[in-house]
Amino acid sequence: MLDRRHFIAGGLSVLASPALGFTLEARYKPTTVAVSTQYDVGKLIVVPRGHFLYYVTAPGEALRYGVGVGRAGLEFQGTATIAYKRKWPDWRPTNEMIAREPDTYAEFIDNEYRQPGGPDNPLGSRALYLFENGIDTYYRIHGTTAPRSIGRSVSNGCIRMLNEHVNELYERVPVGTRVTVL
């Protein structure tokens, strides 16, 4: 649950980002582009090598967003379905993440702690949960506290978007949307 303190802190962090010198490269800003008519309206397509997510808005047309994606060997590939969505989601690293980077995730070792949603949460302001054949893939399309990761392959596999972009996408796509990661 987002309380007043988190809301104010989140707003201040958004206002502070330009002051910190972060500017998103123009190619990663939301842009309407032409796509193959083979893709159904409403579908999401992620092209990790290009660091783009496409939301098909009309036959042959999509809204393209810049994204950050998984490091080599950690990325999801295939087709999944958005099983549910969360605003200001809580978060816990997977057991694999903890085993791979125990120093980074030390506070999660030998407990069930989940970091509450808020401006410091790695999932950012929104998360779309990807399931394959009814089973959680543990991959998400989510916001980020690291806007400089957009356009890079640095995550533990999830697809990161700027919070303002994932907020927009969250409102556009319903549960049940198909997501293909090429």
Catalytic residues: 142, 158
Beta strand pairing call for 44-47 and 178-181: parallel
User: Taking a C-beta distance cutoff of 8 angstroms, is the pair 108, 92 a contact?
Assistant: yes
Backbone phi, then psi, for 28, in 5-degree steps? -95, 0
Q: How far apart are alpha carbons 23 and 117 in whole angstroms?
A: 25
User: In this structure, what DSSP letter does residue 98 have?
Assistant: H
| Max Cα–Cα distance, the chain, nearest Å | 50
**Pick from 151, 161, 174, 147: nearest CA to 18:** 147
**In the chain, which ranges are continuous DSSP H helix?**
4-19, 95-100, 163-172
Q: Which residue has the tokens 């972060």?
A: 22
Q: How far apart are alpha carbons 76 and 139 in whole angstroms?
A: 7
